[in-house]
Amino acid sequence: MSNSDMQTKTTAKPVKATDLHVGGPEDMLPGVPKRDPIVVATNITRTFGGLKAVDVESLQIPRNAITALIGPNGAGKTTLFNLLTGFDKPDTGDWALNGKSLKGVPAFKVARMGQVRTFQLTKALGMMTVMDNMLLGAQNQTGEGFFQAIIPSMWRKQEDDITERALDLLERFKLVKLKDDYAASLSGGQRKLLEMARALMCRPELVMLDEPMAGVNPALTQSLLSHIIDLKSEGMTVLFVEHDMQMVKHIADWVVVMAEGRVVAEGDPKTVMRNQAVIDAYLGSNHGKDLGTDTDTVNTMKELLDDQR
């Protein structure tokens, strides 16, 4: 998708959340405390075979805002996602959701506490129908207990309720016509939508989206973007990883930049994009490499340079 496409489509400016951090514009430094953080992480490190994949001294995610996590490939964004959601264990560090420590909490409990994620490579369950995918997202289902499952009358009512809620969401995400299709038959973009809708079935407080736009047909990006903005207006907090700078600029209230495992810059989108450390991070990580092979990073870099002019 080219940049000009993007700009022509994103005409309606979303309302940005401002004044998220403690202090003035000069305080927009890595690790700056937030006025109302939903996630507070300190000293998170994770090494793979002697290589520090993540080394984050301090990071706070502002509540009821859209935070973008950007950085070149291999910066440790997905690893950080995995660590925050309990899918991987850090070597050191502490982190908390709403003040409750998540250290050592298994992934499924993290999700139950209201912090739900999606994956970079979509994990729509292809051999199940779209509706079954949705219903799987609902929490506290009586029928998910072994003995209750045998007696349908114990869970029929609840099943009807969550089916109704699922239909509402599918309607919103324009998937309702496909509800009885196997998820495997959906297009890449539809699967991204499904995964997001399914995450909403959990009634999350914090939605973590790992590259929600990757591989999505341009026709669907607009609707995905507006869904993400809607999440904020419904009171949720969003943290997402993205490569597309235009999109980040367009919807993010706050941007966190990672490079080589560290947070190198934080701030509102405009400030961050002007930050020398950010430009260095993108250039530096590719120093000595063949730039042509990594189009994502090259595009990001070009966008950053365009912005500076």
Interface residues toward another protein, by CB under 8 A: 48-49, 85, 87, 101, 103-109, 111-112, 116-119, 123-128, 132, 135-137, 139, 141-146, 148-150, 152, 155, 159, 182, 184, 198-199, 201-202
Q: How far is the CB of 104 from another protein (least distance, A)?
A: 4
Tell me the HSE value of 173 on the side-chain side, using a 13 A CA sphere: 30
Q: How far is the CB of 122 from another protein (least distance, A)?
A: 9
Structural contact between residues 199 and 137, judged by C-beta atoms closer than 8 angstroms? yes
Kindly tell me which of 111 and 264 has the beta carbon lying closer to another protein: 111
Kindly tell me which of 42 and 142 has the beta carbon lying closer to another protein: 142
Q: Give all strands of the β-sheet with 115-117 in edge-to-edge order.
A: 115-117, 206-210, 237-241, 66-70, 254-259, 262-267
Q: How far is the CB of 86 from another protein (least distance, A)?
A: 8
Residues sharing a CB contact under 8 Å with residue 209, sequence separation 6 or more, in sequence order: 117, 118, 196, 228, 238, 239, 240, 241
CA distance linking residue 285 with residue 271, whole number of Å: 21
Q: How far is the CB of 228 from another protein (least distance, A)?
A: 18
Q: How far is the CB of 41 from another protein (least distance, A)?
A: 15
Kindly tell me which of 42 and 141 has the beta carbon lying closer to another protein: 141
Q: How far is the CB of 70 from another protein (least distance, A)?
A: 22
Residues sharing a CB contact under 8 Å with residue 169, sequence separation 6 or more, in sequence order: 134, 197, 200, 201
Helix (H, G, I), strand (E, B) or coil at 264: strand
How many residues are given for the chain? 309
Kindly tell me which of 22 and 184 has the beta carbon lying closer to another protein: 184
Kindly tell me which of 87 and 271 has the beta carbon lying closer to another protein: 87
Kindly tell me which of 53 and 216 has the beta carbon lying closer to another protein: 53
Structural contact between residues 33 and 87, judged by C-beta atoms closer than 8 angstroms? no
DSSP 83-133: HHTTSS--SEEEEEETTEE-TT--HHHHHHTTEEE--SS----TTSBHHHH
Could you give the angle at the alpha carbon of 249 between the alpha carbons of 228 and 272, nearest 5°?
125
Kindly tell me which of 200 and 255 has the beta carbon lying closer to another protein: 200
Kindly tell me which of 36 and 144 has the beta carbon lying closer to another protein: 144
Q: How far is the CB of 201 from another protein (least distance, A)?
A: 8
Structure tokens at 179: 């509800």
Q: How far is the CB of 137 from another protein (least distance, A)?
A: 5
